[in-house]
Amino acid sequence: MMDDYNLPFWIYTGVLTVFICGAMKKILASHLSTTPTLVAWLGATVLVERLWAFCLPAVLLLALLVLACCIYFATRTGSPPATLPAHGKAVLITGCDSGFGNATAKRLDALGFEVFATVLDLSGDGARELQRTCSPHLTLLQVDITQPQQVQQALLDTKAKLGLKGLWGLVNNAGVCVNFGDAELSLMSNFRGCMEVNFFGTLSVTKSFLPLLRHARGRIVTISSPAGDQPFPCLAAYGASKAALNLLTNTLRHELEPWGVQVSTILPSAYKTGQSSNHAYWEQQHKQLLQGMSPALLEEYGEDYVTETKELFQSHASQSNPDLSPVVDTIVQALLSPQPQASYYAGPGIGLMYFIYSYCPFSISNRFLQNLFVKKKVMPRALRKQSGYNLNLSLHNNNNNNEGKLK
């Protein structure tokens, strides 16, 4: 019966096999919810039906699929995966004044790690909270990662406390998003500011602490952003810095493999961190953006266009998840898993977003991204004038044509 299937059929089947297997691998590795995972299994059903339709009825295939699903979910939801012991392991975390860094420092301290937490301000609220709630094993270090002298001092202080013991983990968490708005409207200082902290600062810390990490055959866990992989509107400065960081992290993964140092990237969904819920912060950003625009550029775009952008970002931030535990759980997993993953998707929907971006046609992924993030309704002022001019011109031409017909 196989003679009934010609060469094009097998080529088509081969392409379908590669696509569905790749999609399933990505979905199942992304810790998604049940629905997208079920979609992946249904896709596998289509593949199996294509491959063996000439010898197995579809009902039998469905029964086999259900059995495979039961086995998979039984093993997945059974005993928790084995993890390495936390006791005696030292970890340095950057950016612990608030957000992911602050929450991670508390969790790792509670698990028994020896935590070195860097903060911008030793007298700030975040630092005082860590001193109050954590054990005496936690060490606070005042570090601005853009200042090489402070990074080197932190390295000396860490070495002094560790002695001959190496550093098991480095959590590169410190980062900044200093602007919002179209790339054309953003100041060059905003682009440089993002690069200075998110890329060069992280690079400086990583290079400085690598000897300690190599000595312990430890882990590097870097908190990045989907904006570094996907073109989120109005986040060009932040996204470009995270894209550079992602490439650096992927390169380090290959280079450090012979040393036994495992490198992971964590890609969180939207969470309430830092200044994201501070109304005064968004007003200040809005004011700075308007002041940085030339009169000609402000005329082209219009103040209402910039104001809408600010309101959309503020609304998006207000709807973000305040529960940071999915990201903290993922950091712990990356530090203690015997075989850590290269990338972790932390938060609901983030894996599905990457799947759509990676496997769907550009028109679909682009529309999905636009509807997911900033849904602009106000057009730049110049385009509104142009649209109005074109509409009036079209009406004028229609009237002239109608007059010609009447004559």
State how far the Cα of 138 lies from the Cα of 286, in Å rounded to an integer: 38
Q: Which residue has the tokens 């290959």?
A: 254
pLDDT of residue 77: 47
pLDDT of residue 37: 54
Same domain flag for 114 and 42: no
- Residue 159 in this model has a pLDDT that exceeds 90: yes
330, part of any domain: yes
pLDDT of residue 62: 56
H or E, element range at 171: strand 169-172
Of 85, 220, 87, 213, give the one whose Cα is nearest residue 158: 213
Are 86 and 108 in contact by the 8 Å Cβ rule? The answer is yes
Instruction: Report in angstroms the alpha-carbon separations of 84 from 334, 335, 346.
Output: 11, 8, 21
The encoded tokens of residue 160 equal 């002094």
26, part of any domain: yes
pLDDT confidence bin for 355, thresholds 50/70/90: confident
Query: Which of 41-45, 223-227, 362-366, 402-406 comes out lowest in average pLDDT?
Result: 402-406
The whole domain housing 103 covers 90-274+323-372
Same domain flag for 57 and 111: no
pLDDT confidence bin for 35, thresholds 50/70/90: low
219, part of any domain: yes
Residues 357-384, mean pLDDT to the nearest whole number: 80
Q: What value does the mean pLDDT of the chain take? A: 81
Tally of structural domains, the chain: 2
Same domain flag for 10 and 71: yes
Same domain flag for 34 and 129: no
pLDDT of residue 23: 59
Residue 238 falls in the annotated catalytic set = yes
Residues 339-368, mean pLDDT to the nearest whole number: 84
pLDDT of residue 233: 85
- Residue 384 in this model has a pLDDT that exceeds 90: no
Same domain flag for 133 and 202: yes
Same domain flag for 216 and 97: yes
Q: Is 8 exposed, middle or buried (0-12, 13-18, 19+ CB in 10 A)?
A: exposed
The pTM of the full predicted model, rounded to 2 decimals, is 0.77
127, part of any domain: yes
195, part of any domain: yes
pLDDT confidence bin for 2, thresholds 50/70/90: very low
The encoded tokens of residue 93 equal 């975390």
Same domain flag for 219 and 368: yes
Same domain flag for 34 and 121: no
For residue 123, the domain's CATH number is 3.40.50.720
Query: Which of 241-245, 263-267, 268-272, 334-338 comes out lowest in average pLDDT?
Result: 268-272
Same domain flag for 151 and 228: yes
Same domain flag for 49 and 115: no
Are 252 and 265 in contact by the 8 Å Cβ rule? The answer is no
404: number of Cβ within 10 Å = 8
108, part of any domain: yes
**Percent of the chain residues past pLDDT 70, beyond the cut:** 73
Higher per-residue pLDDT: 136 or 292: 136
pLDDT of residue 181: 83
Using the 3D structure, point to which of 76, 99, 117 is the last residue of a domain. Answer: 76
pLDDT of residue 362: 82
Q: What is the dihedral of CA 138, 140, 146, 150, to 10 degrees?
A: -120
Cβ neighbors of 340 (< 8 A, separation 6 or more) are: 219, 262, 264, 333, 334
Q: Helix or strand or coil: residue 222?
A: strand
Residue 275 has, within 13 A of its CA and on its CB side, a CA count of: 13
Higher per-residue pLDDT: 52 or 141: 141
- Residue 119 in this model has a pLDDT that exceeds 80: yes
Of 86, 89, 90, 91, give the one whose Cα is nearest residue 101: 91
176, part of any domain: yes
State how far the Cα of 92 lies from the Cα of 171, in Å rounded to an integer: 6
pLDDT of residue 70: 62
Same domain flag for 111 and 33: no
118, part of any domain: yes
Among 100-109, 170-179, 180-189, the range with the most confident prediction by mean pLDDT is 100-109
Same domain flag for 239 and 349: yes
Question: pLDDT digit string (tens) for 259-279?
Answer: 999 999 999 988 877 666 667
pLDDT confidence bin for 158, thresholds 50/70/90: very high
- Residue 337 in this model has a pLDDT that exceeds 80: yes
pLDDT of residue 221: 98
Are 41 and 69 in contact by the 8 Å Cβ rule? The answer is yes
Catalytic residue among 238, 305, 354, 357: 238
Residues 18-22, mean pLDDT to the nearest whole number: 61
pLDDT of residue 21: 62
